[in-house]
Structure 1
């Protein structure tokens, strides 16, 4: 499903501030490498459930660290960042809007507006009326998009995206899948992995040949925590 060498697949959930940071950088990166950016909305909670994980916001110490980490990166890069209206919030409706089968440019424009509303404007993007306002401000017909977002096929599309992402090894957001000049596919996770994806797409992956690191794949746990 995610094997088109002409595309850079960007897996995201609006609930992630790091996804917002990455969204500000990944379009230019895709363009630089002559790739089509393919945004893939997924439900982060579904990824967490599939892999038996907790979200960062569910671990107080990690949540506090991530706030400063994300603020630091946003400040350094000049990316607008404001406290969200609430967090974690329910991202289902904005994700379903991002799954609508409207023309590509309109969809990209809406994804950008939804990210901006959540992370630069502190708006309650779980709220239908707030989303109606975002759609109108973006020049889109709110009734048309909200009606499609509530339809069975769009709900199925978000579920299918999430299940396909899990099958492809995606465990968090933002995540990116792409192929290097030699046709080798690789998964990159998190905003901080963008620089390594850039090198990979140039054919300059610091790892070199995977065969040189095969011993790492043979490591097995000698102890495990009870669940």
Structure 2
């Protein structure tokens, strides 16, 4: 995985109909975890493969000069309640870590070090469970190592790989890819060139994949270039 190609030959619609869904995520986000619990089944329903792309959410925030939801005191408590309620609606396990936000960088780099698709999927499931389903958290390197070992991977080799310049660069390139796609947060899903943000957009994503998106190409372009009549800046 590398930087998304922004040019190149046009892809025929028939070829795009089975294009992979690219899931940009960071373990620090409870919304990314909640989206993850639904995405493998969603992709299977639509005959798509799911590409798991670890990015550094903090890098996105820094690039855009914004703050994360958990960094806004009044929003922080609401987000924590909101995610609990979504988890209840979805019927998935949800246990907040001992502290939040936490540093997810090692877990992201270990994930990027795993190239094989199914092995990466097993690792992502284990790391998300550790962070958000009562699995002990991801703060200590030992917890990340234990997650890798629990899904049959060479944990020590992966932790060593996570310290290499190549793997560190891959996470940076993944983050830049999302920014190049005009992404601004996690979870983000790329489907046939269209970006969807947030766990609450999964229904819209499914409608799009069925060819039932209520937004025409013309209306999307009009909204993209809509002028501003007022600004606080």
In 2, distance between residues paired with 1:20 and 1:213? 29
Counterpart selection for 2:148 from 123, 135, 142: 135
Give yes or no for contact 1:199–1:205 (8 Å, CA) kept in 2.
yes
Report how far residue 129 of structure 1 moved.
1.2
Counterpart selection for 2:203 from 195, 212, 218: 195
Q: Report what 1:155 is aligned to.
A: 168
Give yes or no for contact 1:86–1:124 (8 Å, CA) kept in 2.
no
CA deviations on 1:93-137 (whole Å, 9 max, x unpaired) are 000011013422111100110000000115231311111222222
2:101 aligned with 1:88: yes
Report how far residue 216 of structure 1 moved.
3.6
Supply the RMSD in Å over aligned alpha carbons.
1.7
Counterpart selection for 2:43 from 27, 30, 39: 30
In 2, distance between residues paired with 1:217 and 1:164? 20
State how 1:1-227 maps to structure 2 within 5 Å. Answer: 1-2=3-4, 5=16, 6-121=19-134, 123-179=136-192, 185-207=193-215, 209-212=216-219, 215-226=222-233
Residues 213 and 13 of structure 1, relative CA distance in 2, 3 Å threshold: closer
In 2, distance between residues paired with 1:122 and 1:28? 22
Give yes or no for contact 1:41–1:158 (8 Å, CA) kept in 2.
yes
Where structure 2 has 5 or more consecutive residues not aligned to the other structure, the ranges are 6-10
In 2, distance between residues paired with 1:2 and 1:198? 23
CA deviations on 1:12-49 (whole Å, 9 max, x unpaired) are 00000000000011111111111110011100011111
Q: Which runs of 4+ in 1 moved over 6 A?
A: none
Q: Report what 2:8 is aligned to.
A: none
SS in 1 for 2:195: strand
SS in 2 for 1:99: helix
Aligned residues between the structures: 220
Task: Please report the TM-score for the alignment, with normalisation by the length of structure 2.
Answer: 0.88
Task: Please report the TM-score for the alignment, with normalisation by the length of structure 1.
Answer: 0.91
Give yes or no for contact 1:177–1:188 (8 Å, CA) kept in 2.
yes
Where structure 1 has 5 or more consecutive residues not aligned to the other structure, the ranges are 180-184
